[in-house]
């Protein structure tokens, strides 16, 4: 076998940003989305829609939304309707409505000034652009919790109510929101919360057989014939089902197993390749998640990682986390944040699946929050955070 042989025929089909044409076990949700937004291609301008998708990491929320956006804009194009779908990750925009709206406007006007406007002015500018171009927009706000956590209820309220100020004008802006944690809805005012919950689609975790179907589809797209067999797919699906049915994790694990096969100049991705890959692929937390954390979330997490690297315990108290954070702040020359803010950071890191939190048991005096790091080696996490903070320093 030549040294240049690869088990892959197109490994880009395993990329996190790839949107396949076939989406096993999510067709019902995709059809429902099309039904909810049917007016956009049948009676454009007559109404708007607000839809909320809720589900854990790796349940297909983002890829389904992107598939829907691609499909509906193609259908609109056939009908000669100017319909745009723009997908924005709120976490990548640091939970800032200003940055979100700026990114949307740049899709229409690439040389639009990046300074000199407030978020409210940008929203009005966006509506003006839509009017001037006689176009309609479905704006997808992925990881909506980042916006709610950063700026509260007001931005979401503004987005859902902007049409009400435009009497007798075409209805041009619809919202598709994606949320991991439904608990964040409680932070919205009752009116906005009611509006979003009216059309809620819940994505359940994938089962092991469903993960196998998803993986088999990707094997056909990404690997050469005869390089990935059923036992390998079953093992990947088993490991991913143990991580909450996370399809993202399953696909990344399959890709890395293929890389191990290539590195060993093998002509098959064996179960042993999967086992090797599983020791280096950590569910949920990728480099993009680490880089998206704000400075003090990184500092707090670095303190937690260092604690678990040195200690033999499984849990650390909230007080110990604060002490570890204080040491890191001193090292990096940063002023510490207060207890209430740190509590919010801990909840956010828990929601992302980076850490796990639980309250002290019955019979103990007071309520103490304990933190654990169940899925990621502390040394690896420390290394990634140190790199990220070093880059920020430079």
pLDDT at 353: 74
User: Which pLDDT score is estimated for 375?
Assistant: 64
pLDDT at 218: 97
Task: State residue 167's pLDDT score.
Answer: 76
Where do the domains of the chain lie, and which CATH numbers do they carry? 27-203 (3.40.50.300), 206-278 (1.10.8.60), 287-393 (1.10.10.10)
Residue 123: predicted pLDDT:
96
Beta strand 173-179 pairing with 369-372: unpaired
Q: 24: which residues sit within 8 A by CB, 6+ positions away? A: 210, 213, 214, 217
The pLDDT of residue 252 is: 94
At what angle are helices 339-351 and 295-310 packed, to 10 degrees? Answer: 80
Distance between CA atoms of residues 181 and 184, nearest Å:
6
Q: Which of 324, 336, 323 is nearest to 295 (CA)?
A: 336
* Residue 362, pLDDT score: 43
Distances in whole angstroms, Cα of residue 335 to Cα of each of 257, 302, 321, 328, 342: 43, 15, 16, 10, 13
What pLDDT digit, counting tens, does each position of 217-238 carry? 999 999 999 999 999 999 999 9
pLDDT below 70 — which residues of the chain? 1-3, 282-288, 360-367, 374-375, 391-394
Residues 171 and 49: beta-carbon distance below 8 Å: no
pLDDT at 64: 97
| pLDDT score at 363 | 45
What is the C-alpha to C-alpha distance for residues 320 and 299, in angstroms, rounded to an integer?
14
Predicted local distance difference test score (pLDDT) of residue 364:
47
pLDDT at residue 168, as a whole number: 82
- Please give the Cα distance from 7 to 227 (Å, whole number): 6
Report the candidate in 100, 217, 203 with the shortest Cα–Cα distance to residue 151.
100
Rounded Cα–Cα distance for residues 172 and 162 (Å)? 10
């Amino acid at each position: 076998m030549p040294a240049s042989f690869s088990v892959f025929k197109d490994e880009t089909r395993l990329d996190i940003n790839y949107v396949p044409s076939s989406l096993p076990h999510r067709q019902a949700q995709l059809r429902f989305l099309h039904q909810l937004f049917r007016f956009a291609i049948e009676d454009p301008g007559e109404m708007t829609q607000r839809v909320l998708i809720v589900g854990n990491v790796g349940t297909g929320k983002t890829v389904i939304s992107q598939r829907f956006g691609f499909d509906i804009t193609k259908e609109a194009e056939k009908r000669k309707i100017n319909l745009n779908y723009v997908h924005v990750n709120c976490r990548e925009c640091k939970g800032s409505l200003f940055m979100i709206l700026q990114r949307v406007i740049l899709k229409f006007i690439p040389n639009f000034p990046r300074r000199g406007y407030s978020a409210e002015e940008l929203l009005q500018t966006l509506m003006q652009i839509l009017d001037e171009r006689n176009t309609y927009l479905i704006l997808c706000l992925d990881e909506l919790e980042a916006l709610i956590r950063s700026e509260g209820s007001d931005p979401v309220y503004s987005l859902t109510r902007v049409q009400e100020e435009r009497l007798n004008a075409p209805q041009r802006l619809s919202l598709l929101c994606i949320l991991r944690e439904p608990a964040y809805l409680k932070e919205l005012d009752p009116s906005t919360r009611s509006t979003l919950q009216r059309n809620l689609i819940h994505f359940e975790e994938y089962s092991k057989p469903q993960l196998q179907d998803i993986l088999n589809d990707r094997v056909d797209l990404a690997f050469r014939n005869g390089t990935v067999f059923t036992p390998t797919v079953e093992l990947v699906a088993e490991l991913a089902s143990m991580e909450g049915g996370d399809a993202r994790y399953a696909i990344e694990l399959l890709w890395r197993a293929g890389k191990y096969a290539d590195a060993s100049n093998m002509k098959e991705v064996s179960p042993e390749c999967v086992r090797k890959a599983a020791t280096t692929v950590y569910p949920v937390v990728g480099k993009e998640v680490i880089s998206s954390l704000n400075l003090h979330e990184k500092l707090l997490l670095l303190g937690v990682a260092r604690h678990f690297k040195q200690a033999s315990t499984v849990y650390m108290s909230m007080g110990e986390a604060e002490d570890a954070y204080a040491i890191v702040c001193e090292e990096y020359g940063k002023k510490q944040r207060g207890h209430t803010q740190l509590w919010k950071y801990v909840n956010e890191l828990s929601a992302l699946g980076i850490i796990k939190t639980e309250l002290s048991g019955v019979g103990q005096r007071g309520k103490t929050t304990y933190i654990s790091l169940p899925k990621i080696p502390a040394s690896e996490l420390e290394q990634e955070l140190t790199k990220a903070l070093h880059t920020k320093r430079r």
